[in-house]
Structure 1
Amino acid sequence: MTDAFTEVATDHDTPTTSGDGSPQPDLRGRVEQGITLLLPRVLNQQTADPLPVDAALMEDLGLTSGKTLELILELEDHLDIQIDVEDITPDDLRSAATLATFVATHVVDED
């Protein structure tokens, strides 16, 4: 089924991080795009305007801990990845941009 939440193609042969542990730029971009597409649906706040990547997720948009888990699960399905959320902190949830960086650096290899 194709809708506004069109799947983002992933390349499973591409490493998720650089040799120094920083995220691959293409993965981080796909994660950020996925967050901006999925978050309005998770929060039941559909709008015509795109989600600003620097909006405060909790303070401005009302993201809760339960909705954070839902968003992470949606991202995993949307991008066909597994995310290690063990080390997530409130700082990682400040904005879509900070969450995208966290996710892109905490993808679990499925080998």
Structure 2
Amino acid sequence: MTEHDTTGPALRERLVDTICTLLPHVLKREVTGATADTTLMAALGMSSTTGLELILELEDRLAVEISVEELGRDDFSTVGSLADYVAGNLLPEA
């Protein structure tokens, strides 16, 4: 990630956009109109397996490492809640 978007609203917006972009790939079907308020499990039927796949895809796409130690089902409530979790759990570069 570039230095200017590693904190705050810019990072969250980038994460929301990236998650929405990755959803069709991870869910293996078309996903249109996803926003920060889109519910991942209720609206999109995401499972715990596809949730972890999404985290791995995010790491690859953004070239970051995400701590999954505290990651729970509630973090997958919406696209925005997942973006918030990721923003707060990025591991420092080695």
Give me the TM-score of the superposition, normalised by structure 2: 0.89
Which runs of structure 1 show a deviation greater than 3 angstroms over 4 or more consecutive aligned residues?
A: 13-17
Gapped regions of structure 2 (runs ≥ 5): none
SS in 2 for 1:58: coil
CA contact (8 A) 1:35 1:75 kept: yes
The alignment yields a C-alpha RMSD, in angstroms, of 1.6
CA contact (8 A) 1:42 1:70 kept: yes
- Are residues 1:64 and 2:47 paired? yes
CA contact (8 A) 2:67 2:90 kept: yes
CA contact (8 A) 1:16 1:107 kept: no
Match in the other structure for 2:14: 30
Mapping 1:17-56, distance limit 5 Å: 17=7, 24-47=8-31, 49-56=32-39
Equivalent of 2:62 in 57, 67, 79? 79
Q: Deviations over 1:15-41 (max 9, x none)?
A: 844xxxxxx221111111100000121
Give me the TM-score of the superposition, normalised by structure 1: 0.76
How many residues are aligned here? 94
Structure-1 separation of matches of 2:33 and 2:5: 29
Gapped regions of structure 1 (runs ≥ 5): 1-9, 18-23
CA contact (8 A) 1:16 1:105 kept: no
SS in 1 for 2:60: helix
Higher helix fraction: Structure 1 or Structure 2? 2
Shift of 1:50: 2.5
